[in-house]
Chain A
């Protein structure tokens, strides 16, 4: 009897696979060193199913260089527990897998079918299963439903998907080389200059992403508004008051705008041409990961990383297909009718699903994007086996309704435009209504169309211009990025992958390079971009990053060699590192002074400026380096309010107020001394 060892990516996936392969769905649970393992005995075959815990191996520096030294070029793949503390669980997992491997003679990688999943399985098979990667097979599936898993087991690939494995190896190695070297250069420069440690990081994708945010910030900070005018007209038709729009939506000069207003105000016009136009609104396309993340942010304000986490949980519960996909295609092999039949058993979706099932030809409105490994995100139709958390319910509902909407008929919308002529000027009245809701019904409440009803008008109808005013307006600065729009920007520029973009945004926020949901870059973020721009602009170059991404995609397609791409990346990185090393002192000086200022800026008072009411901050004088309490209204309103501060010791602001004057108290701690708690307002008055 042969023994087959199947390695899934996560414990939940292992359980689904084991249940699917057992005839009664009841595999025997074994426990190896408390690691869950499932056993299925089939005719002439014993199957053991275990799982990874995500990545169990990582790229690590080899040699005796300390963690602060750079550049480093020598690396190898090592178990995560060997280099990171608190990874005992991973160590136990690898030991258990190694033990199971000795019992097996056939090996299967059943991790998620993408670059990361292929790599996770490959590393385990290679290192923990004694080189089994060369004989292992590959299961391919997009959902964890029993039918698909059984089909995947019966139709395994005879070997691992090596192009994906090589792409994964290459991505991790190149990212490690860039990340470790550039981040160490920044961190060490700042540490050697200030003698204080602050983790600074950048990388192949982090750099260009941060640059997007910094450029947007600069556009906002240096924005100078330009005036323009809009004409607002209230007209009366058959006793009903309506708003009409002038033929030019905006006018550049005050004189022209006031001319239009004075020519038409109080006059009577006549309705001229009436144009009516019916247009079809096609259904939306199926969800790929980034459109799902964008919709989740738009409707639920869920940041991309959170919506991805929720979607992955739904996938592991076999409720949706694999979410890390860039496909907007729904192949017929997923059996639309079967999914809709399952959805029709849910009372919420029953009417819409039944309506679609009564359609003869179910044809999805597919988008252009494809993914070689997975279809678009779709629901399996299976009912949840446990109560879902509110966020999970929301994302599942969004995915279900989107899936049904893509099969819906186009919506039909009628727009009407009536022209009003007055004194050789043209105004318009616009109305719109939905003639046939089509797919919109399936996608409610996520699709909305506002209807504007016009009163009955015909050519020659008299229109009274009750009031016409020229309203002065100003151009607006570009909007700040939010996590969703930044992710879309990365995608549009083809940097990062669907799996890594959300994580990169989180890392940049964690490093305090930017903050807030409406992303605002910090002085440290600006300084990092400044330094990189000055000494290694290539690191910020989107085209260079994209070029590397394309090479890695070529590896996935079998058109490019991993070794060549890694060598190419190293040859680009070497001169950059030389430049950074040469200018370490200058870079350190710039970064550490910004870090110092950023730390001081964290010290914002909760009491307002007694002179102008604006925000009070701890400020460091750029020339003398001395700190003091200053008002942010200095440049806005010319406020000159300042208070002195003790120059030695670590400063922090307390929540307590002074009993005498109610000013916020300051605490100064110095080594070997009792902390000093002081009111600077009273100090000055003394």
Chain B
């Protein structure tokens, strides 16, 4: 059954909580978090990672929206 993306209300892609654009951002998060842990040490928590992403100007708009959503949901 199709649902709507909780961020933008567009239709979700199959098997994802998000729409196509936000899902793509979320996939980037998964691989990026591993690289951040390698860079800062494995003690880096996901919440700190997401909070830092929100502060960086390089973070894309969709990625920023997903980060904020995940932080608000507390699903870290």
- In this complex, how many residues of chain A approach chain B with their Cβ under 8 Å: the count is 23
Partner pick for A224 among B9, B21, B29, B69, CB 8 A cutoff:
B29
Stretch of A80-88, A305-313, A471-479, A563-571 at the chain-chain interface: A471-479
Docked-complex contact A221 and B39, CB < 8 angstroms: no
Let me know if B39 and A224 touch, CB within 8 A.
no
**Are B39 and A223 touching (Cβ within 8 A)?**
no
- Give Cα distance in the complex from A341 to B63, angstroms: 61
* A474 contacts B58, C-beta separation under 8 Å: yes
Name the contact of A221 in the complex, choosing from B32, B40, B54, B63 (C-beta under 8 A).
B63
A636 and B64 within 8 A (CB): yes
| Residue from A218, A255, A476 in contact with B21 in the complex, judged by beta carbons closer than 8 Å | A218
Q: How far is the CA of A638 from the CA of B69 in the complex (A)?
A: 10
Judge whether B25 and A476 touch: CB under 8 Å. Answer: no
Chain B positions within 8 Å of A127 at CB level: none
Q: Taking A221-B62, A224-B60 as contacts, is the C-beta distance between A253 and B39 under 8 angstroms?
A: yes
Q: Are A638 and B68 in contact (CB under 8 A)?
A: yes
Interface residues of B in 4-52 (CB under 8 A from A): 7-10, 21, 24-25, 28-29, 32, 35-36, 38-41
Given contacts A218-B24, A622-B9, A638-B68, contact A226 B60 (CB under 8 A): no
Q: Assuming A223-B60, A227-B36, A254-B39, is B9 touching A623 (CB within 8 A)?
A: yes
Q: Is the CB of B21 within 8 A of A221?
A: yes
Judge whether A227 and B60 touch: CB under 8 Å: no
Q: How far is the CA of A636 from the CA of B60 in the complex (A)?
A: 11
Q: Is A222 an interface residue (CB 8 A)?
A: yes
Q: Determine whether A635 belongs to the interface, using a CB cutoff of 8 Å to chain B.
A: yes
A623 to B10 Cα, complex, angstroms: 10
CA distance A638 to B51 in the complex (A): 13
Q: How far is the CA of A622 from the CA of B7 in the complex (A)?
A: 11
Considering the complex, give the chain A residue whose CB is closest to the CB of B58.
A225
Is B58 a contact partner of A477 (Cβ separation < 8 A)? Answer: yes
Q: Count of A-B contacts with CB under 8 A? A: 73
A84 to B22, CA, bound (A): 45
B38 close to A225 (CB less than 8 A): no
Whether A220 is near chain B, meaning CB under 8 Å from some CB there, is yes
Chain B CB within 8 A of A228 CB: yes
Instruction: Identify the interface centre among B7, B35, B69: most chain A CB within 10 Å of its CB.
Output: B35
Q: B59 near A223 (CB under 8 angstroms)?
A: yes
B56 at the interface (CB under 8 A from A): yes
For residue A252, CB closer than 8 A to chain B, the reply is yes
Tell me, rounded to whole Å, the shortest Cβ–Cβ distance linking A472 to chain B: 9
Q: Tell me the minimal C-beta distance from A98 to chain B in angstroms.
A: 57
Q: Which residue of A lies closest to B36 (CB)?
A: A227
With A228-B39, A622-B8 known as contacts, the answer to whether A220 contacts B56 (CB < 8 A) is: no
Which chain A residue lies CB-closest to B35? A226
Total number of B residues with any Cβ neighbor in A under 8 Å:
30
Closest chain A CB from B63 CB (angstroms): 5
Task: Indicate if the CB atoms of A224 and B24 lie closer than 8 Å.
Answer: no
* Given A218-B24, A622-B8, A623-B9, residue A225 in contact with residue B59 (CB < 8 A): yes
CA–CA, A224 and B46, complex, Å: 14
- Whether B61 sits at the interface, judged by CB under 8 Å, is yes
B48 to chain A, nearest CB (A): 12
- Closest chain A residue, CB of each to CB of B22: A222
Q: Tell me the bound Cα distance from A635 to B39 in angstroms.
A: 28
B59 and A635 contacting across the interface, CB-CB below 8 Å: no
A252–B56 Cα distance when bound, in Å, is: 18
On whether the beta carbons of B56 and A225 are closer than 8 Å, the reply is yes
Q: B61 to chain A: closest CB distance in Å?
A: 5
Residues on B with beta carbons closer than 8 Å to the beta carbon of A224:
25, 28-29, 32, 53, 59-60, 63
The CB with the most chain B CB atoms within 10 A, among A218, A224, A225, A253, is that of: A224
Tell me the complex Cα distance, A559–B29, Å.
Answer: 51
Contact B60 A221 (CB under 8 A): yes
A217-270 at interface with B (beta carbon < 8 Å): 218, 220-228, 252-255
B residues near A635, Cβ cutoff 8 Å:
7, 64-65, 68-69
Contact (Cβ within 8 A) B60 A222: yes
| Bound CA span A223–B36, Å | 14
* Residue pair B8, A252 in contact (C-beta under 8 Å): no
> Which A454-486 residues have C-beta < 8 A from chain B?
474-477
Q: Contacts A224-B29, A623-B9, A636-B68 given; 14 further ones with Cβ under 8 A?
A: A218-B21, A220-B60, A221-B62, A224-B25, A224-B32, A224-B60, A225-B56, A226-B39, A227-B35, A227-B39, A252-B35, A252-B38, A636-B64, A638-B72
**What are 10 residue pairs bridging A and B, where the CB atoms are less than 8 Å apart in the complex?**
A221-B25, A221-B61, A221-B62, A221-B63, A222-B28, A227-B40, A254-B40, A477-B60, A622-B9, A635-B7
Taking beta carbons and an 8 Å cutoff, which residues of B are in contact with A? 7-10, 21, 24-25, 28-29, 32, 35-36, 38-41, 53-54, 56, 58-65, 68-69, 72
Which 6 A/B pairs are nearest by Cβ-Cβ distance? Answer: A223-B60, A225-B58, A222-B25, A224-B32, A622-B9, A221-B60
